[in-house]
């Protein structure tokens, strides 16, 4: 009776490192054979280039580099079936291809039929869609090759089944957002049941700029049963065993099913992955951040340490006359608990120097937010100086709620290279802090309990300038992530004046977000790739 061992290679490619990615495919294929007796090894979508390669795909030399990598694969891969993704130019144009190799030969190529062009995807900018299925015989099984978005549509699988496919190998580069794995599983189950075919779904892991890939590769039997599930956010090789039953149907044997993490564990892992890969792939020695004694910087510090280890993290407290004593105490206590480098650099002398230089310019004008912004910019200068001198990346600490309404200072607290919480609403920041403390208490309790404050003015509280975060985040979720109009949000029972004020702040502060650091995407619609609005606009809030 025919049997087949398919190994899902859940890997973390580096975009643009075609030679390095090819070497990793060779190494992981050899390991799959040695460790699992693999007959087929399946790698993710565009595994040779990494995903998304963006305008690298427009470079004339990419074809040469991909061909050179394919030659290496033909020469160095073990004598098993290996499926991997790469871009390939045909007479029709550039295609997003799944290539099947065996015994030094490129046996088959399949071009992705469904090209996503929504949310973070813009594949129609680069690729032409494939036109036909590709079904090949592998060790006695009729196997269809499939790429990512194909599995989200009925047509590609239906065409493959019509040509005799009984097993689908679907390679993916599917980025994470909240609820994404459950969506994927439902879709794959639906395709398996509708087509009466087993589906092996292989996804990549790792961070690429603001995108985070969570793995979760899976094998779904023809009746929709989950047979194998790889862990989230972990590289590895995960075997799937295929056979036939007495009626000749393809059977996927039950195998290892990883525990699926809860919401907070998943988001936290995504943030850690995003930080680790951005720092390591860009070859920074470490990170530095301003530790204010507030909850945003406290959570950012915890994520940074979990991503990189304490020896690669430096925290700087930069007090001013409005900084509460408890803020200094809590920052020092957290730094000691986590074992990171910690410095206290007062900004008073810098602020006074700026004010002295501006004395004539400011003469006769009342104190306003200008002086608050100068405080923030003094801190930004210090952090960027440390970054330049030590080769550390500055982590900024603004959350999604603040970024949405512009509660931040350009060239001040927004100065840096990577914003860990950029897509994390403030209410979720509190939840994640409590989640992290449930593992080990690393954030002082009163940091979580005290009312949020920028501490740029006497007795300042965030809610002096903003609606309560419990209200603000619900409005922002509707306006930013669900594209609801101001009137539609008001119709759900929110105060009309508050809604219009929040919507206006979001619209007015697009210019700040255009200049903000990137950060890990964890929601369905993040600022940046997902949500691209004009800076100059006459659009008015309403219906």
Told to judge if 112 belongs to the known catalytic residues of this protein, a careful annotator would answer yes
Q: Per DSSP, which regions of 329-405 are E strands?
A: 341-344, 392-396
- Active-site pick, 148, 210, 400, 477: 148
C-alpha radius of gyration, the chain, whole number:
26
Cα distance between residue 351 and residue 288, in whole Å: 21
Told to judge if 378 belongs to the known catalytic residues of this protein, a careful annotator would answer no
Q: Report helix angle 469-476 to 426-439, nearest 10.
A: 110
Closest C-alpha among 451, 448, 450, 506 to residue 475: 506
Cα distance between residue 50 and residue 219, in whole Å: 23
Report residue 174 as tokens.
Answer: 């599917």
Q: Are 37 and 6 in contact (CB under 8 A)?
A: no
Q: Provide the terminal-to-terminal Cα distance of the chain, rounded to the nearest Å.
A: 64
Told to judge if 45 belongs to the known catalytic residues of this protein, a careful annotator would answer yes
Per-residue DSSP letters for 17-71?
-HHHHHHHHHHHHHHHHHHH--SEEE--TTTTT-S--GGGGG-TTHHHHHHHHHH
- Active-site pick, 95, 102, 112, 426: 112
Torsion from C-alpha of 522, 527, 533, 538, nearest 10 degrees:
120
Q: Which DSSP symbol is given to 518? A: B
What is the three-class DSSP state of 463?
helix
Could you tell me the CA-to-CA distances from 337 to 121, 190, 436, 437 in Å, in that order?
Answer: 41, 48, 13, 12
Q: Are 228 and 69 in contact (CB under 8 A)?
A: no
Closest C-alpha among 436, 413, 449, 426 to residue 338: 436
Cα distance between residue 267 and residue 435, in whole Å: 10
What is the three-class DSSP state of 136?
strand
Three-state SS across 257-314?
Answer: ECCCCCHHHHHHHHHHHHHHHHHHHCCCCEEEEECCCCHHHHHHHHHHHHHHCHHHEE
* Residues carrying an active site annotation: 45, 112, 148
């Amino acid at each position: 009776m025919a049997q087949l061992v398919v190994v899902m290679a859940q890997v973390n490619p580096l975009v643009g490192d075609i030679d390095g990615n090819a070497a990793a495919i060779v190494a992981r294929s050899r390991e799959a054979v040695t460790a699992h007796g693999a007959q087929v090894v399946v790698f993710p979508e565009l595994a040779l280039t990494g995903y998304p390669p963006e305008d690298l795909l427009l470079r004339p030399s990419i074809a040469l580099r991909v061909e050179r990598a394919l030659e290496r694969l033909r020469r160095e891969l073990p004598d098993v079936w290996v499926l991997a993704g790469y871009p390939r130019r045909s007479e029709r144009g550039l295609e997003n291809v799944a290539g099947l190799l065996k015994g030094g030969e490129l046996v088959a190529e399949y071009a992705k039929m469904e090209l996503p062009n929504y949310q973070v995807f813009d594949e129609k900018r680069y690729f032409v869609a494939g036109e036909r299925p590709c079904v090949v015989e592998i060790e006695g099984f009729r196997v269809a090759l499939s790429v990512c978005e194909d599995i989200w549509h009925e047509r590609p699988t239906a065409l493959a089944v019509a040509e005799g496919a009984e097993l689908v190998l679907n390679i993916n580069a599917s980025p994470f957002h909240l609820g994404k794995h459950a969506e994927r599983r439902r879709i794959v189950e639906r395709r398996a049941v509708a087509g009466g075919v087993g589906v092996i779904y292989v996804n990549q892991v790792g961070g690429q700029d603001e995108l985070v890939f969570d793995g979760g590769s899976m094998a779904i039997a023809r009746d929709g049963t989950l047979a194998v599930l790889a862990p989230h956010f972990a590289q590895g090789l995960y075997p799937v065993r295929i056979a036939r039953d007495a009626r000749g149907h393809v059977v996927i044997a039950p195998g290892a099913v990883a525990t699926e993490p809860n919401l907070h564990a998943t988001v936290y892992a995504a943030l850690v992955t995003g930080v680790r890969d951005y720092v390591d792939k860009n070859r920074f020695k470490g990170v530095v951040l301003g530790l204010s004694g507030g909850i945003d910087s406290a959570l950012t510090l915890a994520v940074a340490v979990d991503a990189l280890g304490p020896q690669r993290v430096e925290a700087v407290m930069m007090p001013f006359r409005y900084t509460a004593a408890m803020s200094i105490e809590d920052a020092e206590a957290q730094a000691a608990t986590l074992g990171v480098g910690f410095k206290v650099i007062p900004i008073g002398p810098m602020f006074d120097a700026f004010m002295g230089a501006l004395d004539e310019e400011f003469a006769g004008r009342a104190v306003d937010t200008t002086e608050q912004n100068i405080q923030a910019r003094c801190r930004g200068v210090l952090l960027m100086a440390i970054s330049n001198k030590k080769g550390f990346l500055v982590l900024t600490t603004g959350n999604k709620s603040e970024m949405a309404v512009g509660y931040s200072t350009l060239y001040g607290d927004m100065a840096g290279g990577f914003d860990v919480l950029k897509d994390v609403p403030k209410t979720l920041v509190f939840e994640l802090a409590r989640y992290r403390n449930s593992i080990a208490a690393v954030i002082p309790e009163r940091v979580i309990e005290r009312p949020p404050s920028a501490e740029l003015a006497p007795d300042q509280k965030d809610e002096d300038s903003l609606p309560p975060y419990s209200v603000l985040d619900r409005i922002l979720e509707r306006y930013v992530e669900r594209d609801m109009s101001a009137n539609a949000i008001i119709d759900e029972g929110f105060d009309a004046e508050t809604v219009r004020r929040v919507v206006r702040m979001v619209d007015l502060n697009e210019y700040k977000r255009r200049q903000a650091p990137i950060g890990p995407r964890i929601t369905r619609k993040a600022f940046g790739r997902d949500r691209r609005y004009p800076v100059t606009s006459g659009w008015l809030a309403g219906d």
